[in-house]
Structure 1
Amino acid sequence: MLPPDRQRILAAVRQAAGPVMARDVGELVGVDVSVRAKREPLRSKLVGPVDRGWMRKLPDGRFTPRP
């Protein structure tokens, strides 16, 4: 079972109309993304589901759910 913050992140990516950047996900889940240092932990939380095969990371850095 995923921790609640990672569940919200995964749900935000799934509900998005298309591929999203980490900044977009942060805005959807209420994370301050105005400073790069605050986006990096979010980006690392996005990589976990990619490693597990639940999401894909596109070459341009955007994230999308697996079909």
Structure 2
Amino acid sequence: MAGRAVLLIPHRGDAADEGGLPGDYRKILAIVREADGPVRVRAVHEAAGAGRLGHGKLEPLRAKMTKLAARGWLHKRGDGRFSARP
């Protein structure tokens, strides 16, 4: 795209719905929304099945969840847990 950056993960206000997100990111959102409250990265990793969202390690998954939070899809709490935005 000549001179324009293309965001893989759009800002929440720029996207009509989460359908524009890549599959891994939609899966993360679904897991966080189904949880009873704020979740840790490890809980999302375990719910997805080991290795499915980060090649068996937590840091790639944490990076994806942090990116979702930075773009307004999730809320990152001060204690490191994530919750879904209404």
TM-score range, shorter chain: 0.7 to 0.9
1:21 aligns with 40
Unaligned runs of 5+ in 2: 1-19
Return structure 1 stretches of 4+ with deviation > 2 angstroms. Answer: none
- With normalisation by structure 2, the TM-score equals 0.68
Which residue of the partner structure matches residue 62 of structure 1? 81
Question: How many pairs align?
Answer: 63
Aligned-CA RMSD value: 1.3
* One-letter code aligned to 2:27: R
User: Where does the alignment leave 5 or more consecutive residues of structure 1 unmatched?
Assistant: none
Structure 1 equivalent of residue 27 of structure 2: 8
Larger Rg computed on CA atoms: 2
Q: TM-score w.r.t. structure 1 length?
A: 0.86
| Residue 63 of structure 2 is aligned to residue 44 of structure 1 | yes
